[in-house]
Chain A
Amino acid sequence: MTLSEEQFAEDLTGGPERRPPSRSRVVARRFLAAPRGRAGLTLLGLLFLLAFAGPLVSPWSYTDRDFTAFLQPPSAAHWLGTLQTGADVFAVTLRGMQKSLVVGLLAALVSTALAALVGAFAGYFLGWTDRTLTWLTDLLLVLPAFLVLAVMSPLFGSGAWVLFVVMLALFLWMVTSKIVRGMTVSLKRREFVQAARFMGVPPVTIIFRHVLPNLSSLLIVDATLNVSAAILTETSLSYFGFGIQPPDVSFGTLIAGGARTAVYAPWTFWFVAGLLVVTVLAVNLVGDALRDAFDPSATRTR
């Protein structure tokens, strides 16, 4: 944001507050002030770093096979051991994490955004907008998501992971959207929305400025849950061989493979499972902190 001249002049004269404390700034400040927010963000950052920078320091790539070491425990050559195929656990786990992190986070964001938009527009405008959007929601709700995803899985083969994200998101948003719609209908009757309307604020702006922020608690919780849901759906799809196809790997394929050997070769399973838990934990921490940052009535650090 650029400073206007008069603001700038006031800044020089030492006004008590230099910049207007707008919502985004307050939220950012409160988010960063919360220990949970910082911890979650750091953790998430570290996970991304690990997933994308880790392969650079690893001597093995995820496609490599070490035919001298099948199902070996962690050692100096293979930091986290090897799989039955001779693949390096460290390398494949990181490769799987790259996919799962991106797919999980994106799918969650897309589905929550979709739920918020469809729900808020249906609830705010009512009338035919509402009828159309509700019909669409109901239609997707009755389609068996797993089956559709399974049928479409050949398309997700190589490089089409964006399509996979969209498909995952498309089957996660409906229930939330119905809740959002209901809450929007009641929010619309609240006086501050009326006040904005009588002020001349356009409807779409009202939705983005008043309706959605007041639903932020719900949306953030929903997004947080969706991250784990998306990772797990992807995991279960991959487990059945539908999602990410070999030679590419994901958390799902790794867990599926590792589960078979977990008892006598725990390193094939526990590292990937542990990373999954840590990922979900980090996302939840960020979500909690974000929710509190948006909610001014939550206890705060002054």
Chain B
Amino acid sequence: MTPEPATPPLPTAPVLQVRDLDVRFGDVHAVRGVGYEVRRGEVLGIVGESGSGKSVSSAAVMGLLPRGARVTGSVRLHGRELIGARDRELDALRGRTMSMVFQDPMSALTPVYRVGDQIAEAVRVHQRVTKEQALVRAVALLDLVGIPHPAQRALAFPHEFSGGMRQRVVIAMAIANDPDVIICDEPTTALDVTVQAQILEVLKTAQRETGAAIVMITHDLGVVAGFADRVMVMYAGRPVEVGGVDDVYYRPRMPYTVGLLGAVPRIDRDGRRPLTPIEGSPPAPAALPPGCSFAPRCALRAPACDEAEPPLFDVGPGHRAACLRWEETGPPSAAAPGVAGVPATRVRPEEPVLRVEGLVKHYPLLKGTLFRRRIGTVQAVAGVSFDLRRGETLGLVGESGCGKTTTLMEILELAAPQQGRIVVLGRDTAGLGAAGRKAVRRDMQVVFQDPLASLDPRMTVHDIIAEPLRTHGAGHPARRVRELLDLVGLAPAHAERHPQDFSGGQRQRIGIARALALEPRLLVLDEPVSALDVSVRAGVINLLAELKSRLGLSYLFVAHDLAVVRHIADRVAVMYLGRIAEIGAVDAVYDAPAHPYTRALLSAIPLPDPARERTRARILLEGDLPSPAHPPSGCRFRTRCPKFRSELTDDERARCVGDEPVVRPLAGPAGGRGANHGGDDHGGDDHGGDDHGGHDHGVACHHARRLDVL
């Protein structure tokens, strides 16, 4: 790397030093007094919810804010002031001494240039090398970030890469000039968990190779726990707690941090106790409360909190928190089992609400404009079977492209499937007429992922909630609407407002109220909390759990977040490439996953627990999801299966290649913890037979063996 003209930085001197950084957009004070420093080889995690100013502050450090922003304070890179520096000076530093990895890898790459050329360009902007040398360097960088066949792939265009591969390319560009600071703005948020684990691994490699300091901005407490050395928690544009990762996670001194940690569903804990949500929602940056900005939501609020914003107090060595009452604040106590904690019934209820048998959904791949011909088939769902019984929650999990949403839509359409059978509330969808379909719709309601998109922006909340009532013939829904608003924790006065006047969590509550209006028996939830912030998410999860136990609902819960599913579901079905890989009682699957994919998936999820994160062994999957248009023969997972690659003998492999495994119940409890959940019920069919032998755990793998990964 090229040394600074002045004195090279001492190992202890901070590479990047930010002090009193303030950003205003007009009247909106987006960032207020952010200060941090990072040293060589150090990782600083900046954690905050949306609107906390974490991304704006990093854009301010890079000098990437639009002209309308007023930035004051000091940002020093190797002692050199960047605020107020001219663009030409910044250009010399950006990409060379300091580089950035963005959230969306597609928009970070130019679609019309080959990725090799783009990386070579990044090299040539700052280094005097020939084009050939730069290309050689680009290939070496692609190799470093783990792209297979780097010399060939360097000639590919960005759209030919998957999301994870693109993010690797972006990281390769970021480290092309051996930077001293890499700022990563939510680098894994748009990616699936197994890919996220890969990317975090790549970032670690990149850091090892360059020795750079990393500023990691994220909303995911788990990602930071295993990756960062120090953590800064931001709220409403201000840092509210800064400290070593262990201090912040195990000895938090700011009620907001405590709240965040208590609000995260944990994959390693069984979910029978309610999460502790933080009341309310973050303040609007244009209308901040006069005192501590967290005070309106704080359980420890005292009159003094409203008078002035508390400064950052030193609460321990290298640990500071902005709370007047930090001495009384401690780690989240193990909450007593509350209302939502229904003791899980281990015996499955009898009455089936939904049964799916061998469901298949193929989309034709068409080509040509005038004469459209079929050139292939996308096997979105290829034979999925499960059942859902009364009062149960079945979590359908999997990464993007696994077919979980397609399965859901097939069920919701209530039309005859291409192959297989869907039986909703005892009625086969193939034989449903218009009247029958409407009758089933009354008892089956849906909650969508994006609460804003699923509520008609032109309707008042009253009309939205009243719509199902009017559709199914209730004359005067005013009273019922009020009841429903009350049920989901909204005020009756909210009825005359429009959806966009609400925060994300409130909107989702409106969506839930609408779904509950007709007192359905089956509620289909499509990623209901994934668009919500952590502190708000806990409230909605608790609400769903409480409603289920109060109203005796059955949930079909589709999610990619396994922690949320563990918290809320009784049973879980893990999908991979259009098929179910593993299905069974939540505890059985999570505690002793038998399918190699489930194992990899569980081990890829970062825990908000620094000590365990550091010691955990990860099973990293290689490569990306194969295209559902050309699934591998035999077992669909074999191309990425770590077991197939390293453990099996050739005979065993031949079986994986030639013979597609079906879901079979695991033979008896294999001993060990979490294995004994045998409720004694029969009645499963042989195809989706998940409860044969009284043990609710089925796996589609020829060589299944239970193993604890958490």
Tell me if chain B binds chain A: yes
Known: A23-B460, A191-B448. A199 touches B471 (CB 8 A): yes
Pick from A2-10, A119-127, A240-248 the stretch touching chain B.
A2-10
- Closest B residue to A10 by beta carbon equals B479
B213 at the binding interface (Cβ < 8 Å) = no
Interface residues on B, range: 35 or more
Contact among B453, B456, B467, B495 for A17, CB-based, below 8 A: B495
**A214 CB to nearest chain B CB (Å):** 5
**B445 CB to nearest chain A CB (Å):** 7
- Closest B residue to A214 by beta carbon equals B458
A294 surroundings in chain B (CB, below 8 A): 458
Chain A 232-250 interface 0/1 with B at a Cβ cutoff of 8 Å (1 = within): 0000000000000000000
Chain B 420-442 interface 0/1 with A at a Cβ cutoff of 8 Å (1 = within): 00000000000000000110011
- Closest A residue to B412 by beta carbon equals A198
> Are B471 and A200 in contact, CB atoms less than 8 angstroms apart?
yes
A19 surroundings in chain B (CB, below 8 A): 478
**A193 CB to nearest chain B CB (Å):** 8
Cα-based distance from A213 to B459 in the complex (angstroms): 9
A191 surroundings in chain B (CB, below 8 A): 448-450, 453-454
> Are A210 and B456 in contact, CB atoms less than 8 angstroms apart?
yes
Cα-based distance from A194 to B481 in the complex (angstroms): 21
A22 surroundings in chain B (CB, below 8 A): 460, 462-463
Cα-based distance from A198 to B498 in the complex (angstroms): 22
> Are B492 and A20 in contact, CB atoms less than 8 angstroms apart?
no
Known: A21-B460, A296-B498. A16 touches B454 (CB 8 A): no
Known: A20-B481, A195-B446. A200 touches B472 (CB 8 A): yes
A15 surroundings in chain B (CB, below 8 A): 482, 492
B466 at the binding interface (Cβ < 8 Å) = yes
Known: A20-B466, A21-B462. A195 touches B496 (CB 8 A): no
- Closest B residue to A6 by beta carbon equals B479
**B192 CB to nearest chain A CB (Å):** 22
A198 surroundings in chain B (CB, below 8 A): 412, 441, 444-446
Contact among B442, B446, B496 for A26, CB-based, below 8 A: B496
B457 at the binding interface (Cβ < 8 Å) = yes
Cα-based distance from A294 to B498 in the complex (angstroms): 11
Contact among B449, B455, B460 for A192, CB-based, below 8 A: B455
Known: A17-B493, A22-B462. A194 touches B457 (CB 8 A): no
- Closest B residue to A205 by beta carbon equals B471
A192 surroundings in chain B (CB, below 8 A): 453-457
Chain A 258-302 interface 0/1 with B at a Cβ cutoff of 8 Å (1 = within): 000000000000000000000000000000000000111100000
Q: Given known contacts A200-B472, A213-B459, what 15 new A-B pairs fall within 8 Å (CB)?
A: A4-B475, A10-B479, A15-B492, A17-B495, A23-B459, A23-B460, A191-B449, A196-B456, A198-B445, A201-B471, A205-B471, A210-B459, A214-B456, A214-B457, A297-B500
| Contacts A/B (CB < 8 Å), 18 sampled | A3-B476, A4-B475, A17-B495, A22-B460, A23-B458, A23-B459, A191-B448, A192-B454, A192-B455, A192-B457, A195-B455, A198-B412, A199-B441, A199-B445, A199-B467, A214-B458, A295-B458, A296-B501
Question: Taking beta carbons and an 8 Å cutoff, which residues of A are in contact with B?
Answer: 3-4, 6-7, 10, 15-17, 19-23, 26, 190-192, 194-196, 198-201, 205, 209-210, 213-214, 216, 294-297
